[in-house]
């Protein structure tokens, strides 16, 4: 078989008018070879004729298994069909056949209209942040990206619980200044699973008059805008940085986002800050009344005058022991009220298993304990007989034997009656 270079030379010489016989003589090849090269539509290539292999007898059985279970592992298929040869050789043939039987899941090219949607996600930075008790933890960061303008806002949060997710969403939407018509989430457990939203999510979106869309599994393309930002953060923001606290992380990340939102995005060929006004104009306004978000609980305060928020305990004024108190906490503060009166206020800690005690509460508890332990004064028996326990006048008649002698004194006029 001639090379591609010889094939090209033959066709050029013949096109220049050189006779095929002379071309064959000059190149030292047969005239039939020259004729085939001139008549061919493409360059020559080596093709090995198909011959039966050791896999051929098993191919039909493998295809039957792939029809019913396209994702069955090659090792399991080899066991089912009785293959005893090289597993590497078997895997190559299964890899060749599998696409013919696997269902196709095409992804459409999405177009995001102004104000229509914002994609929400949790990003876990590849670092640990110091907390109040000296420990370190890998904390999630909520990221909201406006799909049309690609404008990004973000906030580190202590947990993935619904309460903290809604708190962060409300803070970020306030930073955005408007409410997108759709908030797109994946199957985050704090937002909802299956067909139902988590408790409180419906009331939150109802107050905002927006729609929360939870994507079906295996649909990453519908949330690809924010997913790509997560990778962008790890390659452009994280390298060479260290953080002293969650607040320090938010400060550094906020400054960096201001610069990132002013850069040209390759896919839209524009800067997010330049498209933000048009995106906001098509969004919904913030509600006149803020949604009810945060950790909310109503408990009866026990002798151990502490209430729990997430995994931490916070002291409360012992004067309201035994009464119902209302506990409310956001990302930074914990407040406890009794009948509207503030009876405890603490900074919320993000570490776990801590006990926060107000020294004033300890002092109050000591005073109440000392008062409880004081001996109670004995009651005056005369006072008990005279005032506290009034007697019936008939008791005195019986005591002096007047009733037994057939006489009694009327309690009305004091006359003797026979």
Give the model's pLDDT for residue 382.
56
Contacts of 67 (CB under 8 A, 6+ apart): 101
Note whether 185 and 220 are within 8 A (CB): no
Determine what percent of the chain is predicted with pLDDT higher than 70: 89
Angle between helices 87-101 and 74-81 (to 10 degrees): 100
Residue numbers in the chain where pLDDT is lower than 70: 107-108, 218, 220-221, 378-393, 395-397, 399-418
Report the distance separating Cα 6 and Cα 2, nearest Å. Answer: 6
- With b meaning 16 or more CB within 10 Å and e meaning fewer, what string describes 94-133? beebbeebeeeeeeeeeebebbbbbbbbbbebeeebbbee
Using one digit for the tens of pLDDT, what is the confidence trace for 184-220?
Answer: 998 889 999 888 899 999 999 999 999 999 988 767 6
């Amino acid at each position: 078989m001639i090379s591609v270079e010889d094939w090209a030379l033959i066709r050029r010489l013949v096109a220049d008018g050189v006779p095929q016989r002379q071309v064959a003589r000059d190149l030292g090849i047969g005239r039939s070879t020259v004729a085939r090269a001139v008549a061919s539509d493409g360059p020559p290539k080596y093709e090995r004729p198909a011959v039966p292999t050791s896999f051929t007898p098993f191919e039909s059985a493998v295809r039957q298994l792939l029809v019913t279970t396209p994702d069955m592992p090659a090792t399991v298929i080899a066991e089912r069909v009785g293959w005893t040869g090289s597993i590497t050789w078997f895997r190559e043939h299964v890899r060749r056949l599998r696409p013919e039987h696997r269902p196709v899941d095409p992804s459409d090219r999405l177009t995001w209209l102004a104000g229509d949607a914002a994609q929400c996600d949790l990003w876990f930075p590849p670092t640990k942040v110091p907390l109040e008790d000296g420990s370190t933890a890998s904390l999630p960061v909520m990221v909201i990206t406006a799909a049309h303008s690609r404008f990004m806002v973000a906030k580190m949060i202590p947990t993935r619980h619904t309460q903290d997710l809604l708190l962060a969403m409300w803070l970020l939407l306030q930073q955005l200044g408007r409410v997108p018509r759709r908030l797109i989430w994946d199957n985050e457990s704090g937002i909802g699973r299956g067909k139902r939203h988590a408790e409180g999510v419906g009331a939150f979106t109802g107050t905002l008059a927006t729609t929360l869309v939870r994507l079906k599994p295996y649909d990453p393309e519908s949330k690809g805008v924010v997913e790509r930002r997560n990778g962008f953060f790890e390659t452009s923001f994280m390298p060479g940085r260290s953080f002293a606290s969650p607040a320090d992380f938010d400060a550094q990340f906020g400054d960096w986002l201001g610069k990132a939102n002013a850069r040209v995005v390759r896919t839209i060929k524009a800067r997010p800050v330049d498209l933000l006004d048009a995106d906001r104009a098509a969004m919904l306004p913030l509600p006149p009344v803020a949604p009810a978000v945060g950790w909310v609980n109503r408990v009866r305060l026990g002798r151990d005058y502490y209430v729990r928020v997430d995994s931490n305990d916070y002291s409360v004024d012992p004067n309201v022991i035994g009464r119902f108190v209302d506990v409310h906490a956001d990302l930074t503060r914990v407040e406890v009220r009794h009948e509207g009166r503030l009876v405890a206020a603490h900074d919320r800690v993000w570490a776990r298993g801590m006990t926060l005690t107000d020294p004033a509460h300890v002092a109050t508890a000591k005073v109440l304990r000392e008062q409880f332990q004081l001996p109670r004064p004995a009651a005056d028996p005369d006072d008990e007989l005279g005032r506290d326990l009034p007697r019936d006048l008939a008791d005195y008649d019986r005591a002096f034997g007047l009733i037994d002698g057939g006489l009694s004194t009327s309690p009305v006029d004091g006359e003797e009656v026979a």
